[in-house]
Chain A
Amino acid sequence: MSRSNRRQVLRRLGGAATAAGTFGFAGCMGNGNGGGNGNGGNGNGGGNGATTGTTGDTLEITIGCPTALSGAFAPNGEAERDGGQLAIRHLENDLDVSVDLVTADTEVDPSVAVERLEGMVVEDGVHAAYGGVSSAVGIAMGSWGSDNRVPFCPHGASDDITGAECSEYMFATYSGNSMQASVAAPQMAEQADDWYILYSDYTWGQTAETIFTEVLEENGSNVIGSSAVPFPADDYTSYLNTAEEADPDGIALLVAGLDQRTSMNQLLSVGLEQDYTIAMHQLEDVNLWGVGQEAAAAIDVASQGWLPSLDVPADWISEIREMSEHEPYVRHYMGYTSVDQLVRAAVRAGSTDGEAIKNELEGHEVESERVRALQPSEESLYWRAADHQLVQPVYASAGRAVEDMESDPDRWFEVIDRMPGEEAAGEPSAECEL
């Protein structure tokens, strides 16, 4: 695990003075995760059992970022980490707080992820954490966090995070599958009558296929066929052939990760975008950067949890560019928001205790001007108490024309519809019992 060391000098200087004043040594929860390690007397209440970790009046908190830092999902994990680092920079400027970030590679394996999170809590004294690119990984860590009173923000979009698999200490920063589908499907229905759906053959894709079918049909369109595609898939040709044979008006690509790139590339290579309306679900810009502007331009409707084309502060965009090797996109936003919210909850509670942070987040209306600036609207953003979903707007976007992108290369997509979070989130799932 790697740790950012920017605060170490300060902490060593303050160590002796704070040893006596540190409140964080007590409060072990008896869960075996070992609170009270104190990090060598630097005042850092360890584990999840610390009630506070302070240097004088400065609250010290350690945030974990267990996420995918190797393999195909590494760009997503890196963006989450980088977004979190920018949040820490801002929080340390805005508040009297010292934040330490610990990162670890979860790969895309839930058991590895839980092992990494446990290691962070036990060995590095992590108080709260965020990350996990896939829903399965996020749910596994959120479940472990709930068993051990460690607040955790997963970055998957499965409805299960706030549904059947919801748990007490898990808070969903990403807009769920249904939320994102609810804004895109009506737009799709407006643009084409008959749709063929290709979906990634695992829980996320299967759920998306069900939701899109329902919403499209509610809005007067027909789903004339669908094909499950193994995830990940290295070739979409046969599935595109199948879709074409069904003679739809539109093809919906409910596929995840880099499959968005592969499918779009192969769709473009035979010119299907000229004959069909193309829709994509939970589009993350990074996946199309590897294809090019033509691919983005070919997308008629995309659901997105957040996109850099929103009217967000230029400073934020430039700061992300400065500290990340990736252009800003939704994973930066999520990393930023998760860290901002976890740390502010600890500050409000005046404690790094997991239960205190959880209680502060539950039902909390986001007051952070920094986060609110990234969702430019008047509506309130809040952590719904019933299922811990961050209720926030969702967007339907469309690729801009290539010539428009050339004159404004930072904006590949434009928002064609925006749905308020309250409407998109609907009622909390009856399956979620916190």
Chain B
Amino acid sequence: MSVATLASTPDELPSIPWLLAGLALLAVVIVTLAVRPQLFISNLVGGLVYGMILMMIALGLSLILGLLGVVNFAHGALFMLGAYGAYQTVALFELPFWLALVVVPIGVGLLGVLMEVTVLRRLYGEDPLIGLLATFGVALMLEEATRAQWGGTPLSFDPPAVLRASVQVGFLEIATTRLFTAAVGALVVGGLYVLMYRTDFGLSIRAGLQDQQMAEFLGIDIPKRFTIVFFIGAAIAGLSGVLRGAEVGMDLGMGMDFVILAFVVIVVGGLGSIFGSVVSALLIGVAVFVTPVMLRAATTVAGLEWLYVSGIGGLMPFLVMIGVLLVRPRGLFGEEGLLE
């Protein structure tokens, strides 16, 4: 295990290839701004918002992986449970969405605690593959339990009116639910930073990760702190699920769909780096949204439309991952030794 970092910089980047790549990118951005300015800006903003949504989903996964060294494959299931919990609260119990936003993440966090205490606690220090398999099994159980409770039909609930509207920013029309998710994501990142780097609790967690035995000699209850970290990670997954459920509804496949993207985000950001996950999510979000526009503009201007790759946006998370790993195998902000 290794200490998660919120602030570290990649070193020894190859300067000339990066410079050339940067210049080429700049040229394409200028061309795109000249040819399709409105679409470029719409998608840039949309990509940043999408990146914040991805970040919210990846953050809990990154926290648990970075701090506890557990590849939590059940993260997607916890995310899904957040959405279904919100459905239960808002649609079936007819309670306010704002209450669901608070209560459901706590409930999912407590489920995460149960999972940590009963399954994962005995796996710390073991091969990460064992934790991955264990959490995969938990994910299957949670998915089937969800099917048993709520059925397989896709569901939805009505979010508050304010989240069903959109706001006009210049020529941009942005759904308030997406802006709200982005704002909540920013708050969660800020809160995590303060918790881990500005409190005694965070200090004790990091001490325990550096030398668990010594920390326990000093009277720190490390297992309890790890459980709290797992609670936080699971609760963030639940919170992301509530927000996603409010935006597009819920179905049994939503967890698996997003957990794959979340893994891509943390691999690109660097295993163990929460800051890396933030940067990576924003990078991937923007890449997914603006690459098709830029490629279309560039190929149109160059008269090489046959070079345009249909559906390139969906490939971008994986192309970004391949590109980053080729240049920097541990990810943008990954630490040497973590899970290696």
Question: In the assembled complex, which residues on chain A have CB atoms less than 8 Å from the CB atom of B292?
Answer: 227, 238, 242
Contact pick for B43, options A238, A262, A265, CB 8 Å: A238
Q: Is B224 part of the binding interface, using a Cβ–Cβ cutoff of 8 Å? A: no
Question: In the assembled complex, which residues on chain B have CB atoms less than 8 Å from the CB atom of A232?
Answer: 257
CB-based contact B250/A290 at 8 Å? yes
Q: Is B166 part of the binding interface, using a Cβ–Cβ cutoff of 8 Å? A: yes
CB-based contact A237/B289 at 8 Å? yes
Question: Shortest CB–CB separation between residue A310 and chain B, in angstroms?
Answer: 21
- Give the interface SS of chain A, mostly helix, strand, loop or mixed: mixed
**Per-residue contact bits, chain B 301-337, to A (CB 8 Å; 1 contact, 0 not):** 0000000001101110000000000000000000000
**Per-residue contact bits, chain B 101-122, to A (CB 8 Å; 1 contact, 0 not):** 0000000000000000000000
Contact pick for B46, options A228, A241, A286, A289, CB 8 Å: A241
Contact pick for A72, options B53, B178, B251, B258, CB 8 Å: B251
Stretch at the interface among A24-32, A131-139, A266-274, A393-401: A266-274
Question: Shortest CB–CB separation between residue A336 and chain B, in angstroms?
Answer: 18
Could you tell me how many residues of chain A have their Cβ less than 8 Å away from some Cβ of chain B? 37
Question: In the assembled complex, which residues on chain A have CB atoms less than 8 Å from the CB atom of B314?
Answer: 201, 229-230, 233
CB-based contact A270/B173 at 8 Å? yes
CB-based contact B313/A289 at 8 Å? no
CB-based contact B248/A262 at 8 Å? yes
List the B residue with the shortest CB-CB distance to A326: B153
Q: Is B154 part of the binding interface, using a Cβ–Cβ cutoff of 8 Å? A: yes
In the assembled complex, the Cα of A325 lies from the Cα of B292 at a distance in Å of: 41
Question: In the assembled complex, which residues on chain B have CB atoms less than 8 Å from the CB atom of A326?
Answer: 151-153
Q: Is A367 part of the binding interface, using a Cβ–Cβ cutoff of 8 Å? A: no
Q: Mark out the residues of chain A between 164 and 216 whose CB falls within 8 Å of any chain B CB in the assembled complex.
A: 201
Question: In the assembled complex, which residues on chain A have CB atoms less than 8 Å from the CB atom of B152?
Answer: 74-75, 78, 325-326
CB-based contact A266/B175 at 8 Å? yes
List the B residue with the shortest CB-CB distance to A286: B153
Question: Shortest CB–CB separation between residue A246 and chain B, in angstroms?
Answer: 9
Q: Mark out the residues of chain B between 29 and 52 whose CB falls within 8 Å of any chain A CB in the assembled complex.
A: 36, 38-39, 42-43, 46-47, 49-50
Question: In the assembled complex, which residues on chain A have CB atoms less than 8 Å from the CB atom of B158?
Answer: 292
Question: Shortest CB–CB separation between residue A299 and chain B, in angstroms?
Answer: 16
Q: Is A408 part of the binding interface, using a Cβ–Cβ cutoff of 8 Å? A: no
CB-based contact B252/A292 at 8 Å? no
Question: Shortest CB–CB separation between residue B40 and chain A, in angstroms?
Answer: 10
CB-based contact B36/A75 at 8 Å? no
In the assembled complex, the Cα of A262 lies from the Cα of B175 at a distance in Å of: 14
CB-based contact A241/B42 at 8 Å? yes
CB-based contact B258/A290 at 8 Å? no
Question: In the assembled complex, which residues on chain A have CB atoms less than 8 Å from the CB atom of B258?
Answer: 234
Q: Is B177 part of the binding interface, using a Cβ–Cβ cutoff of 8 Å? A: yes
Question: In the assembled complex, which residues on chain A have CB atoms less than 8 Å from the CB atom of B189?
Answer: none
CB-based contact A291/B156 at 8 Å? yes
Which residue, of B36, B248, B293, has the highest number of chain A Cβ atoms within 10 A? B248
In the assembled complex, the Cα of A101 lies from the Cα of B203 at a distance in Å of: 61
Question: In the assembled complex, which residues on chain B have CB atoms less than 8 Å from the CB atom of A286?
Answer: 153-154
Contact pick for A71, options B43, B248, B253, B311, CB 8 Å: B253
Question: In the assembled complex, which residues on chain B have CB atoms less than 8 Å from the CB atom of A235?
Answer: 50, 53, 288
Q: Mark out the residues of chain B between 174 and 207 whose CB falls within 8 Å of any chain A CB in the assembled complex.
A: 174-175, 177-178
CB-based contact B154/A269 at 8 Å? no
CB-based contact B174/A291 at 8 Å? no
Q: Is A403 part of the binding interface, using a Cβ–Cβ cutoff of 8 Å? A: no
Question: In the assembled complex, which residues on chain A have CB atoms less than 8 Å from the CB atom of B164?
Answer: 269
Q: Is B249 part of the binding interface, using a Cβ–Cβ cutoff of 8 Å? A: yes
CB-based contact A245/B38 at 8 Å? yes
In the assembled complex, the Cα of A33 lies from the Cα of B56 at a distance in Å of: 51
List the A residue with the shortest CB-CB distance to B252: A74
CB-based contact B311/A269 at 8 Å? no
Q: Mark out the residues of chain A between 61 and 83 whose CB falls within 8 Å of any chain B CB in the assembled complex.
A: 70-72, 74-75, 78
Contact pick for A289, options B39, B147, B154, B288, CB 8 Å: B154
Q: Is A287 part of the binding interface, using a Cβ–Cβ cutoff of 8 Å? A: yes
**Per-residue contact bits, chain A 12-36, to B (CB 8 Å; 1 contact, 0 not):** 0000000000000000000000000
In the assembled complex, the Cα of A257 lies from the Cα of B72 at a distance in Å of: 28
Q: Is A11 part of the binding interface, using a Cβ–Cβ cutoff of 8 Å? A: no
What would 18 more interface pairs be, CB under 8 Å, given A245-B36, A269-B247? A71-B252, A74-B147, A201-B311, A227-B292, A229-B314, A230-B314, A235-B50, A235-B53, A238-B46, A238-B47, A242-B292, A242-B293, A258-B251, A258-B253, A261-B249, A289-B155, A290-B153, A290-B251
Interchain Cβ contacts under 8 Å between A and B, 19 examples = A71-B256, A72-B253, A78-B152, A227-B292, A234-B261, A237-B178, A237-B289, A238-B293, A241-B43, A242-B293, A258-B253, A261-B154, A265-B249, A266-B175, A266-B248, A269-B247, A270-B175, A290-B250, A291-B156
Interface residues of A (CB under 8 A from B): 70-72, 74-75, 78, 201, 227-230, 232-235, 237-239, 241-242, 245, 258, 261-262, 265-266, 269-271, 286-287, 289-292, 325-326
